[in-house]
Amino acid sequence: MLATLKADFFKQNRQKLINLATDQTIILIANDYIQKSLDQNYPFKQDNNFWYFCGIDIANLILVFNKDSQFLILPKQNKYQQIFDGSIPKTSISKQSGINEILDYDLGLEKLKAIISKNKKIGTIIIPKIKHLNRINNQNQIRLLRLLKRIDSKLEINNLGKEVAGLRMIKSISEIELIKEASKITINAISKITKEILNFERSTQIDKALLIDFLKNGSSGHSFDPIIASGKNSTIIHFNQTNSKILKNRLLLLDVGCVFNNYASDISRTIAVGNPSNRELNVLNAVKRVQEQLIKSLKPGLSFADLEGLTKKLIFEELINLKVVTKNDFKKVRNFYPHAVTHSLGLDVHDFADYSLNLTPNMVITIEPGIYLQEEGIGVRFEDDILITNSGAKVLK
Ligand SMILES: [Mn+2]
């Protein structure tokens, strides 16, 4: 029987954060609904930082905890919302989160105001906007900061983002089991597809076949829009055009993952569809060798920067062998390998992380080297989900 995360896990997480911010009252806010059209919302997805500290999948809750008290504030619900959406089940929230006090909005806000009037030190999570990517600001922190400002404009607001990232990077035994199951389901689904790869004509067919297999095995679905890139499409790192053609006698790059009990996997395989050229197979084997060597090099204490440095060195050597670059061309590596070799993995596919920390036992990361030869239309990536252990690393599968 696989572990599901129970109240103890969330209690421990809250206690760990309290220990890192003993003088503060920590306030976190749940995600809101996002409108899809008129009276339709997108399926609700909880904010993972919020979930990590209480395990509740309900919109618009506010979680408050410090060394003296812990409570959840429910959103305001009018009588129509109660009739159409059902009233919010306090007992099950209490049982799942391990928090005894579940307060209606007005009462909860009174309690929060009373705490704030005695101690103006607040801890929350503020995530900076990623400037170079087309991502929006975190709406939750905007809502929370507005609410706090209305209560008291002179609060001392501390960003506990670094502390929370550090906690989330180190996985509990149960979390590791869940990620391992997600990885196993994904790897098995990909191998089934691989065996009958010549039957697929369009990427959508592969997407759906993977999804069906994920659901059959207890997953709730894809952990991100899968990348299914045939031939030259594989040189586009985040290729996401749906229903593209699967070419025969070329390589096919699959970068997919599933969600199992809220935890994500992220696996990449590059597979031969029929008989690709020797050149394509040489690039494929080069990346495989790099991935094997990288996994062997993993051990506690290694920095993420050194891991990236080693990746560039290994890829450079393979690029020389492939006659893509010459010995004096080291700075050209980024032209053929433009992404990062790793990221933390957990509730988020690219998990909330602090990459200034060194590798530590019970971190779960990906190792995903790639080589992309745009002019030749060849792109190869291999990716596995890896547990850092006391002595080295273990591939989760
Ligand atoms: Mn990845």
Do residues 279 and 378 touch, judged by C-beta distance below 8 A? yes
Local structure of residue 59 (DSSP, 8 states):
T
Largest CA distance in the chain: 72
Query: Distance of CA 126 to CAs 28, 51, 297, 357, Å?
Result: 10, 16, 34, 19
Does residue 256 fall inside a structural domain? yes
Cα of 254 from ligand 1 centre, angstroms: 11
| Model confidence pLDDT, tens digit, residues 271-306 | 999 999 999 999 999 999 999 999 999 999 999 999
Report the CATH number at residue 202.
3.90.230.10
Considering the chain, what percentage of its residues have pLDDT values greater than 90? 87
Cα of 317 from ligand 1 centre, angstroms: 23
Cα of 202 from ligand 1 centre, angstroms: 23
Say yes or no: 133 and 192 in one domain: no
What is the b/e burial string over 98-131, where b = at least 16 CB atoms within 10 angstroms of the residue's CB? bbeebbeeeebbebbeebbeeeeebbbbebeeee
Cβ neighbors of 214 (< 8 A, separation 6 or more) are: 185, 186, 189, 220, 221, 222, 258
Cα of 383 from ligand 1 centre, angstroms: 7
Say yes or no: 235 and 201 in one domain: yes
pTM reported for the whole predicted model: 0.95
Please, which residues bridge with residue 40 across strands? 37
What is the model's pLDDT at position 262? 96
Sorting pLDDT into bands at 50, 70 and 90, what band is 153? Answer: confident
Cα of 308 from ligand 1 centre, angstroms: 14
What is the model's pLDDT at position 1? 55
The structural domain count of the chain equals 2
Last residue of a domain, one of 136, 167, 198: 167
Cα of 116 from ligand 1 centre, angstroms: 41
Does residue 108 fall inside a structural domain? yes
Q: Is a pLDDT exceeding 80 seen at residue 135?
A: no
Q: What is the CA radius of gyration of the chain?
A: 23
Give the type of residue at 208: K
What is the model's pLDDT at position 156? 95
Sorting pLDDT into bands at 50, 70 and 90, what band is 195? Answer: very high
Q: Is a pLDDT exceeding 90 seen at residue 83?
A: no
Does residue 24 fall inside a structural domain? yes
Q: Is a pLDDT exceeding 70 seen at residue 130?
A: no
Q: What is the mean pLDDT of residues 31-43?
A: 90
Q: Is a pLDDT exceeding 80 seen at residue 69?
A: yes
Do residues 321 and 286 touch, judged by C-beta distance below 8 A? yes
What is the model's pLDDT at position 131? 61
Q: Is a pLDDT exceeding 90 seen at residue 79?
A: no
Cα of 388 from ligand 1 centre, angstroms: 16
Say yes or no: 221 and 77 in one domain: no
Say yes or no: 207 and 235 in one domain: yes
Last residue of a domain, one of 167, 183, 208: 167
Say yes or no: 204 and 338 in one domain: yes
Does residue 1 fall inside a structural domain? no
Cα of 220 from ligand 1 centre, angstroms: 19
Cα of 385 from ligand 1 centre, angstroms: 9
Cα of 381 from ligand 1 centre, angstroms: 10
Full residue range of the structural domain in which residue 299 is found: 170-395
Q: What is the mean pLDDT of residues 333-361?
A: 97
Q: What are phi and psi of 124, to 5 degrees?
A: -150, -175
**Rounded Cα–Cα distance for residues 245 and 243 (Å):** 7
Report the CATH number at residue 150.
3.40.350.10
Cα of 343 from ligand 1 centre, angstroms: 7
Last residue of a domain, one of 119, 144, 167: 167
Does residue 376 fall inside a structural domain? yes
Say yes or no: 51 and 136 in one domain: yes
Label the pairing between strands 364-367 and 384-388. Answer: antiparallel
Does residue 30 fall inside a structural domain? yes
Say yes or no: 177 and 141 in one domain: no
Cα of 350 from ligand 1 centre, angstroms: 7
Cα of 81 from ligand 1 centre, angstroms: 39
Say yes or no: 288 and 360 in one domain: yes
Q: Is a pLDDT exceeding 90 seen at residue 78?
A: no
Say yes or no: 120 and 179 in one domain: no
Q: Is a pLDDT exceeding 80 seen at residue 85?
A: no
What is the model's pLDDT at position 238? 86
What is the model's pLDDT at position 136? 58
What is the model's pLDDT at position 39? 86
Cα of 66 from ligand 1 centre, angstroms: 35
Cα of 368 from ligand 1 centre, angstroms: 7
Do residues 47 and 347 touch, judged by C-beta distance below 8 A? no
Say yes or no: 80 and 161 in one domain: yes
Cα of 167 from ligand 1 centre, angstroms: 20
Do residues 290 and 311 touch, judged by C-beta distance below 8 A? yes
Local structure of residue 259 (DSSP, 8 states):
E
Does residue 2 fall inside a structural domain? no
Does residue 364 fall inside a structural domain? yes
What is the model's pLDDT at position 107? 96
Cα of 328 from ligand 1 centre, angstroms: 30
Say yes or no: 102 and 160 in one domain: yes
Local structure of residue 24 (DSSP, 8 states):
S
Q: Residue 222: name the closest of 202, 195, 200, 240 by CA.
A: 240
Sorting pLDDT into bands at 50, 70 and 90, what band is 25? Answer: very high
Say yes or no: 120 and 199 in one domain: no
Cα of 42 from ligand 1 centre, angstroms: 25
Query: Would you give the distance in Å from CA 343 to the centre of its chain?
Result: 9
Cα of 267 from ligand 1 centre, angstroms: 7
Query: Distance of CA 309 to CAs 251, 333, 342, Å?
Result: 27, 11, 12
Cα of 183 from ligand 1 centre, angstroms: 12
Cα of 259 from ligand 1 centre, angstroms: 14
